[in-house]
Structure 1
Amino acid sequence: MDLLDSILNSMQKPPTASEAQKNAMRKQKEAIENRQKEERNMINRFRKRVEEKISNFIKDGTKPHIQFEPMEQMYRSIIREVSEIAGLQVFSFGQEGVDRYSVVYLKDNGPSEDELTVRRAGGVWNEDKAAEMALAHFEKRKQAAIDLEEEKNRKRKRGKEELSGTFYKQKYAHLIGQEAAIDAAQKTGVNKSYGEVPSENKKDQRSIEQTMADIKAKKMKKAETEKRDADSGEQI
């Protein structure tokens, strides 16, 4: 026996496991395997329930959506997988690890912007909330129509003021004074028929007799002028 063999023989051999320890290890392994098997079975049962629920939802066709209870991400992923295979839309709302849940919609009838806004804010979406949001949109459109009509009326009124001169009176009153602005507005008021000259100024205010007398006087003056011109020509 050489030195190496002597050293090896002198070393203490590792203790062998007792029968009790072996049984404990075997039971622990079996427990782990059973737990894993139960988890697989539980997931399969959950998938089956989801498939049945999704199938009934599609067959019914009257419900706007199907909502699941809050659950862990692993189970929500199963809902998403089953729904997408069936050609449906899936949205998740809520805080992860607290109350996050999934909602499934038909492919051609997804959630409205109002519903997404409410759910993402942590609110509850139902018929009452939908009616409330619809009324709010109606009131908003109604007010917008009123504002638009008022703006049109203001523009029409301003156009009339510009034609009457009132607009210029208001525009330049702070520069030249109120009285001067009024006077300027009156002088520059536009007449639709005759331009910027008041139509009254273009009317003949004379009577018929005065008009005839003026015409006769003009003729006599013209005749006298022609006679003087003729006499002057003969003298030359």
Structure 2
Amino acid sequence: MDILGSILNAMDKPPTISDKQRALMRKQREALQKREEEEKEKLRVFRETVEDQITKLMKDNSQQKHEFEPMEKVFRGIIHDVAEVAGLVAFSVGMDGDDRRVIVYKVEFQPCEEELAALRRGEEWDPEKAKALALQKEEEEAESKTTKDFVPSSDYKDKYERLIGKESAKDAARITQTNKQYGFVPSANKKDVRSIEQTLADLQSRKKMKLSHGNASEGNSSSQP
């Protein structure tokens, strides 16, 4: 016997499957396939129902929106898809969980950002309440602006005179006052009042003097032994 044959004989043979086990496995596959087909049929029927409701919304001029019942994510996705195909806008609102639902609007009646934010938080939208809150916000902003422009009616010096005494307050005020003389330089020292012609003439004169001094120095050095 060759080596390969001896190795194959030494290996454990795969377990045999009985007819009963085969039948059980076949039933499990059939049951899984049946559940998948039932789920597909359920989603198909649901899509047709949503399409009918969306069509009614589009044909009814008195309707601005249609709100669906809370449902699972897979069904909400179908509503969004049908609304997009129909040219409408759909929003998922409400908190995550049992309250999550979809509202489909006609394009011309889609909600404002404030209303949509309230619906997504699970709150009821009240236009009158929203107007009151907006007015309150404007009043607070106006009051805040007025506070920034507030000018105190009393001088801080009077306050400190009552707290630490008149002489001490004067000393403190004198220390905190800006020294207006600090760094003061007369304008005559800051600005050259000469004209351009005078400045150029002075520069040329200095240059000539420098050259003459240099020539004189060279003459003295050459005359030395």
Secondary structure of 1:78's match?
helix
- Mapped pair 1:130 → 2:140: no
Which blocks of at least 5 consecutive residues in structure 2 are unaligned? 143-225
- In 2, the alpha carbon distance for the partners of 1:47 and 1:15 equals 47
4+ residue runs over 6 A deviation: none
More RCO (CA 8 Å, sep 6+): 2
- In 2, the alpha carbon distance for the partners of 1:137 and 1:113 equals 15
Structure 1 residue identity aligned to 2:17: A
Q: 1:4 — aligned with what? A: 4
Structure 1 residue identity aligned to 2:93: F
Secondary structure of 1:75's match?
helix
- Mapped pair 1:65 → 2:71: no
Q: 2:213 — aligned with what? A: none
Task: Give the % identical residues.
Answer: 42
Query: 1:8/1:60 Cα in 2 relative to 1: closer, same or farther (>3 Å)?
Result: same
Structure 2 residue identity aligned to 1:18: S
* TM-score between the two structures when normalised by the length of structure 2: 0.54
Which blocks of at least 5 consecutive residues in structure 1 are unaligned? 148-236
Q: Deviations over 1:111-170 (max 9, x none)?
A: 134422431332123xxx335445x379x39x97xx9xxxxxxxxxxxxxxxxxxxxxxx
Query: 1:103/1:8 Cα in 2 relative to 1: closer, same or farther (>3 Å)?
Result: same
Q: Deviations over 1:58-81 (max 9, x none)?
A: 111212211112222222111111
Q: 1:48 — aligned with what? A: 48
Q: Which of the pair has more CA radius of gyration?
A: 1
Q: How many residues align?
A: 144
Q: CA deviation at 1:110?
A: 1.0
Q: CA deviation at 1:85?
A: 0.8
- In 2, the alpha carbon distance for the partners of 1:60 and 1:72 equals 27
Report the aligned-residue RMSD: 3.2
Q: 2:170 — aligned with what? A: none
Secondary structure of 1:66's match?
strand
Q: CA deviation at 1:98?
A: 4.6
Query: 1:57/1:10 Cα in 2 relative to 1: closer, same or farther (>3 Å)?
Result: same
